[in-house]
Structure 1
């Protein structure tokens, strides 16, 4: 059923291309209209000569010019008729080429993908994640002990807490990640890190807190004007102010 839907959808996407290929050119009707105009001009010119509105020399000169235009139009009509026939002969070839596009796409999908592979159930993935967290937990505790014993002026302390925050965030423990990054922020202020902590705290708590707003405000005061998170910080501050007024 799925493959039938994919094929039908692919053919539906090709409909505009088929319409463009099969559309009859409108150049012939325009040129036929020009022929009728020139023929009516010849009739009017003949009537003017009969009524003695123009001289015979003027009549012959005008007639020669109109006949020249008629011959030119006839040749262009013939060439356009040939051109209108030529594309129709290649519609089949072009159509086959268009049909090859979805077929080639499905072929690449079958070669490089695994359409028959079922989706992984959620329970085994959660169990695997929990098992990974249990394996990583002892190393995290060791890192915390080492960081606790480092001097507050040691630059390695900042790097260690930044690493700890990343590990906790990858485990989904946003509160612990924010706490670790705060330790690094207290030692050396960084507006980007402050904004990141404020946003993570907001996500973990489900609302914007006063502490997060203060971090956003301080980050905006010290950060350049073109930082990518400026609009987000301003929205969070406005959200806090609306909820506390």
Structure 2
């Protein structure tokens, strides 16, 4: 029995942050993050609808611009204080019971002697993912490299690589898609990912090319300023962002973000 005492104490210690959270005044933390996650999911869903042929290019672009505006607005919103939680003291009093109940349920239904998943199993799962992507590459290879089907395949592969954090793989796949047919929005995705991995210089030609096709696109103009800021040219970044701010409607959701970016420049 004494062997379980440290585990009970550890469980109580793990619940202490919950106690601190319920006793302090609650803030609306998480609303902005939830909104951002929702809008990102909507962007991914729009991409899937377009790839499946259920949404044409014009409809996809219009819907994506609207969701991106909402995404920028969500990232720009401030958090508001909320009233304290009711019943917080009662919940804190129940923490020891929650810890004991959790341990009891684990002893009853769990498998204390079962070891954690070894690295070999995790590596096997990663290998399966690699095999799936390799199969997709092989199927793309059987298509006409200049066909729309091949282009959509490369976009799908790039999305998958981005989803698992492989920026280089995503950029390579999207570049192959653009080789089939240029798309300013996809070029912006590549530029954004290059900036994220600290390669602002590599993002420049993509933004330049995309702005030729879509010179008024606010996202591309914002990314152009990001490249200048990341490259140590704050004066250029300020000029680009101030021009974008001047061209933006008074109710544009990205105005607050732009103003903060400009004020943060040296």
TM-score (norm 1): 0.47
Q: Which is higher, the Rg of structure 1 or of structure 2?
A: 1
**Greater helix share, structure number:** 1
TM-score (norm 2): 0.44
Larger RCO: Structure 1 or Structure 2 (Cα < 8 Å, ≥ 6 residues apart)? 2
